[in-house]
C-alpha cells in the first residue's frame, strides 16, 4: 500500500497518515466514514489502485478513497476476503466515481474512472493498517 488518506466530515482536503486503526464492522478511526453504530455493507473501507489514479492525472488521495494500493487488481477482490497487512477485509462492490469527485477534480473524470475507481470493502478484524503493508488474498 502506498498511501492512507483520512478526512473529517465534509472536509475538502483529506490528510495523509502513515497508519490508522481499523475497527471491525465500523471503519477507520478518525475518518468521516467511521460508523460508531456499525457500517452498512461496503461502507467501512475504500481502496483504489495507484495505477488508475496516475493514469487520469490525479495524486493519491484526490480520488477520496482511503487506501491507495499498487500492483493489486482490486476489481478481482469483489466477493472475496483479503488482507491489508494483518487486517482481514471483504470486497463488497466496485466504488464507482461520482458527481462529488467530478466537482472536486475536473469534468470528464467520471467517464475516465468507470469500473476502475476502486472498491468498497468491509473490515472483518481489528488492527492497524500502515503505509507499506501488503494487500494479500
For 85-132, how does the pLDDT look when each residue is reduced to its tens digit (9 = 90+)? 999 999 999 999 888 888 888 899 999 999 999 999 999 999 999 999
Burial pattern 99-117, b for ≥16 Cβ within 10 A else e, equals eebbeebeeebeebbeebb
pLDDT confidence of residue 123: 98
For residue 134, pLDDT over 90 is answered with yes
pLDDT confidence of residue 101: 84
pLDDT confidence of residue 99: 83
Distance from C-alpha of 5 to C-alpha of 19, rounded to nearest angstrom:
9
Section 31-52 average pLDDT: 96
Q: What is the pTM of this model?
A: 0.94
Mean pLDDT of the chain: 94
Amino acid at each position: 500500500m502506498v498511501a492512507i488518506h483520512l478526512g473529517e466530515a465534509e472536509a475538502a482536503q483529506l490528510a495523509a497518515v502513515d497508519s490508522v486503526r481499523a475497527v471491525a464492522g465500523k471503519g477507520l478511526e478518525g475518518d468521516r466514514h467511521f460508523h460508531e453504530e456499525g457500517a452498512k455493507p461496503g461502507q467501512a473501507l475504500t481502496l483504489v489502485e495507484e495505477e488508475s489514479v496516475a493514469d487520469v492525472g490525479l495524486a493519491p488521495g484526490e480520488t477520496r478513497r482511503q487506501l491507495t494500493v499498487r500492483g493489486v487488481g482490486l476489481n478481482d477482490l469483489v466477493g472475496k476476503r483479503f488482507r491489508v497487512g494483518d487486517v482481514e477485509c471483504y470486497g463488497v462492490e466496485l466504488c464507482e466515481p461520482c458527481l462529488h469527485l467530478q466537482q472536486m477534480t475536473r469534468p470528464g473524470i467520471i467517464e475516465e474512472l468507470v469500473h476502475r475507481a476502486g472498491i468498497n470493502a468491509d473490515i472483518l478484524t481489528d488492527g492497524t493498517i500502515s503505509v507499506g503493508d501488503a494487500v494479500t488474498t
